[in-house]
């Protein structure tokens, strides 16, 4: 039996992928740029085993057996096997490619958070398959076929997914553009909003946008291209203030094209707007003080949760304010409310306190995750595997769930 267990990170786009030019190959209409997040707070874990004794391919997700019929999983599996068939396994004549595979995946994301898990999940699956079959080279174009945004989770730090020009999608790949500490001591604050009913998923939402939104044509032909150039320049120059403005503008534009979609896709809610307005007001004060490097920015994916990027130098101040504006509900204690890194409450000046409007109430957020920017997928040692080394079956199952 050959086995490997890997972990892969979540990524959050600052220039968004929204809209495909090819649904089947998952080719985007524009380049996108993201931060890969630390795996200490959130990651996917996947164990892959191949063995001549396995009688069929099997897949378990979060302890429950799932069908392997899913065409996106199949495409990833096929492509890794195809690449593996092009190389010889070192030191062995055995025909690994004819062996069946057992795949066991789990996310350590806080349950019911509504946080996108598919990017980390597919990046992890593809990375682990690559390891077990000994496939070398870039795997981002394989992960892309699982879920578009997954291709960016193959690398750490700041990553750019190039949309590519070729029809077969072979040049639609992700590449790292800056290390995880490029903007030093950057904190990532995810505000998990207490959401209502389930919204339209990304795949369906972006399809509808491409079909119906005229504003989307303007985004793809003009505004996102200008913003991509500008943010690359801001990254090169380490111009945090411009980086923040461009990140917020792109999130706002994505949600504007969602709103312009017919019927509209509405992802942000009142809480999302309250968080975004707090950030703008905070930044106004920073700008008036000339403290441009202390600005904060937000971005929203296809849901109401805000993802904030906060310079470490102001994290205590900003969190003090955020927790005053969005305190936990009466039944929640602070340790459960803020997960991950801890911050110190500190006295804040009247200028900041006056930003807190009366509408902010306890319980608008379910909880907050405090994490950092991080590295790409990792291989774990054998003791951490999810699959039993003898039987190749999951160590923990949840089949009765």
Q: Establish if 164 lies at the interface with ligand DP6 (CB under 6 A).
A: no
For residue 389, the tally of other CB atoms under 10 A from its CB is 12
**Peptide bond before 263: cis, by omega within 30 degrees of 0?**
yes
**Residues of span 245-304 touching ligand DP6 by CB under 6 A:** 301-302
CB of 62 to ligand DP6, least distance (A): 18
Q: CB under 8 Å to 304, separation ≥6 — which residues?
A: 114, 193, 195, 267, 268, 269, 271, 272
CB of 1 to ligand DP6, least distance (A): 32
**Residues of span 168-187 touching ligand DP6 by CB under 6 A:** none
Q: How many residues does the chain have?
A: 401
Strand partners, 297: 309
Binding map of ligand DP6 across residues 117-156, x = CB under 6 A, - = no contact: -x----------------------------xxx-------
Show the beta-strand stretches assigned E in 266-336.
297-300, 306-311
**Residues of span 85-124 touching ligand DP6 by CB under 6 A:** 116, 118
Burial of 9 (0-12, 13-18, 19+ CB in 10 A): buried
Contact 178, 157 (CB under 8 A): yes
State the Cα–Cα distance between residues 293 and 382, nearest whole angstrom: 43
Contact 310, 296 (CB under 8 A): yes
CB of 143 to ligand DP6, least distance (A): 10
Binding map of ligand DP6 across residues 16-55, x = CB under 6 A, - = no contact: xxx-------x-----x-----------------------
Do strands 365-372 and 338-340 pair parallel, antiparallel, or not at all (unpaired)?
parallel
- Return the closest-CA partner of residue 133 out of 1, 2, 245, 284: 2
CB of 189 to ligand DP6, least distance (A): 17
Q: Give the binding range for ligand DP6 (CB under 6 A) out of 13-21, 165-173, 305-313, 315-323.
A: 13-21
Helix (H, G, I), strand (E, B) or coil at 113: coil
Nearer to ligand DP6, 17 or 59 (CB): 17
CB of 79 to ligand DP6, least distance (A): 16
| Count of residues that interact with ligand DP6, criterion CB under 6 A | 15
**Residues of span 189-228 touching ligand DP6 by CB under 6 A:** 202-203
CB of 148 to ligand DP6, least distance (A): 3
CB of 31 to ligand DP6, least distance (A): 10
Residue nearest to ligand DP6 according to CB distances in the complex = 148
CB of 215 to ligand DP6, least distance (A): 16
Q: CB under 8 Å to 14, separation ≥6 — which residues?
A: 33, 34, 35, 231, 243, 246, 247, 250, 297, 299, 309
Nearer to ligand DP6, 5 or 11 (CB): 11
Contact 315, 385 (CB under 8 A): no
User: Which residues make up the interface to ligand DP6 (CB under 6 A)?
Assistant: 13, 16-18, 26, 32, 116, 118, 147-149, 202-203, 301-302
């Amino acid at each position: 039996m050959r086995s490997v267990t890997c972990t892969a990170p979540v990524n959050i786009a600052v220039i968004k992928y929204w809209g495909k030019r090819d649904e089947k190959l998952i080719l985007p209409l524009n380049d996108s740029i993201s931060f890969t997040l630390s795996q200490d707070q959130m990651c996917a874990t996947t164990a892959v085993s191949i063995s001549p004794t396995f009688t069929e391919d099997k897949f378990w997700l979060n302890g429950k057996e799932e069908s392997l019929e899913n065409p996106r999983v199949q495409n990833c599996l096929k492509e890794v096997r195809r690449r593996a068939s092009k190389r010889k396994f070192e030191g062995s004549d055995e025909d690994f490619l004819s062996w069946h595979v057992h795949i066991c995946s789990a996310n350590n994301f806080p349950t019911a958070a509504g946080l996108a898990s598919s990017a980390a999940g597919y990046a992890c699956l593809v990375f682990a398959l690559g390891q077990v079959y000994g496939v070398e080279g870039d795997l981002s174009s394989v992960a892309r076929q699982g879920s578009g945004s997954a291709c960016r989770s193959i690398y750490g730090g700041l990553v750019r997914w190039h949309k590519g020009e070729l029809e077969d999608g072979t040049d639609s790949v992700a590449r790292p553009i800056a290390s995880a500490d490029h903007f030093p001591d950057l904190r990532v604050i995810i505000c998990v909003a207490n959401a209502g009913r389930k919204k339209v998923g990304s795949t369906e939402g972006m399809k509808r946008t491409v079909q119906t939104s005229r504003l989307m044509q303007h985004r793809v032909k003009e505004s996102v291209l200008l913003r991509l150039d500008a943010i690359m320049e801001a990254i090169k120059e380490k111009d945090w203030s411009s980086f923040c403005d461009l990140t917020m503008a792109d999130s706002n534009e994505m949600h504007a094209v969602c709103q312009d979609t017919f019927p509209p896709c509405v992802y942000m809610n009142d809480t999302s707007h309250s968080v975004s307005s707090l950030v703008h007001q905070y930044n106004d004060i920073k700008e008036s003080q000339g403290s441009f490097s202390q600005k904060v920015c937000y971005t929203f994916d296809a849901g109401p949760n805000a993802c904030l990027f906060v310079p470490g130098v102001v994290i205590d101040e900003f969190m003090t304010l955020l927790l005053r504006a969005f305190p936990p509900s009466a039944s929640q204690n602070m340790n459960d409310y803020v997960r991950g890194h801890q911050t110190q409450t500190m006295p804040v000046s009247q200028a900041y306190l006056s930003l807190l409007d009366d509408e902010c109430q306890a319980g608008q957020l379910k909880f907050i995750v405090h994490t950092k920017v991080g590295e790409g997928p990792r291989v774990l040692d054998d003791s951490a595997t999810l699959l039993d080394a003898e039987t190749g079956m999951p160590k923990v199952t949840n089949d009765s769930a």
